[in-house]
Amino acid sequence: MGAFDNPLAAKLSGVLDLGEEDRRVLDGWCAGGVPLGHDQHLVREGDKPVHFCVVLDGWAHRYKLLPSGGRQIVGFMLPGDTCDLYGSVLPRADHGIAMLTPGRVAFVPQRLVEEAAARRPGVERILRWCALADASLARTWLANNGRRNARERLAHLLCELWLRADQVGLARGRTFDLPATQDELADALALTPVHVNRTLRGLQGDGLVDYQGREFTLPDLGRLAGVAGFDPAYLHLGGPSARDAVWP
């Protein structure tokens, strides 16, 4: 926001030194963008991906379907988040990506991305940063879902999503919109919707979370982060933000 008209540059400017020229490349990628409706797909599992995607507006989620019919959501995407679905590097998308809300997405032809990366080391760094941050996030979810109970897991996810929303200007103080159904939260946390509901109510009863519809408020982030065992390092966030005013 502010100085930047594209959320990807905004995010990256906090963590990497973007040259003038690199930023122009990113601006080019993020110009325009396609409006997408709720539930529309950016990528389907099995597709040969030919675009590098940047979410400009709205939320999306990445998911994997299992032969048995289950679904695991493997990540949420907010404005400024990218997916490098391997384009020229790997042959097929191993998971799908779809919108959680209406929004706007930039589809950058892999050819352009490759050319820019070959021409400018700064761009190559950006791509690598995105891929590595992505992997880091997936590993953190692995640990979260694997070794925490329902309460801790949910608290952890809420901390993460509030922080990420805040980072791109989508939080109003400790309040933010989490446009996912409890079903979707369940598939992200590897729980059942019923248990997500109970756990959410539990946190609410303890004054750690408040919500009406999809609008969530985290009245005591310090205590919630304590419950979650949350350490924001894995998000690799850059510069200062509202979080510094709120965080323990």
Contacts to DNA by CB under 7 A = 149-151, 181-183, 190-195, 197-201, 214
Q: Choose between 27 and 183: whose C-beta lies nearer to DNA.
A: 183
Task: Yes or no: say if 67 and 60 are a contact pair by the CB < 8 Å rule.
Answer: no
Among 234, 242, 243, 247, binds its own copies (CB under 8 A): 234
Q: Compute the least distance from the CB of residue 103 to its own copies, in Å.
A: 22
What part of residues 161-220 is at the interface with its own copies (CB under 8 A)? 190
Interatomic CA distance for residues 30 and 26, integer angstroms = 6
Q: Compute the least distance from the CB of residue 56 to its own copies, in Å.
A: 22
Among 21, 90, 194, 201, binds its own copies (CB under 8 A): 90
Token code pair at residue 111: 């050819």
Among 37, 91, 173, 219, binds its own copies (CB under 8 A): 91
What part of residues 109-138 is at the interface with its own copies (CB under 8 A)? 117-118, 121, 124-125, 127-129, 131-136, 138
Q: Choose between 111 and 214: whose C-beta lies nearer to DNA.
A: 214
Q: How far is CA 49 from CA 68, 95, 230, 231, in A?
A: 25, 11, 34, 33
Q: Choose between 104 and 120: whose C-beta lies nearer to its own copies.
A: 120
Task: Yes or no: say if 158 and 216 are a contact pair by the CB < 8 Å rule.
Answer: yes
- Reference 31, options 59, 14, 1, 56; nearest CA is 56
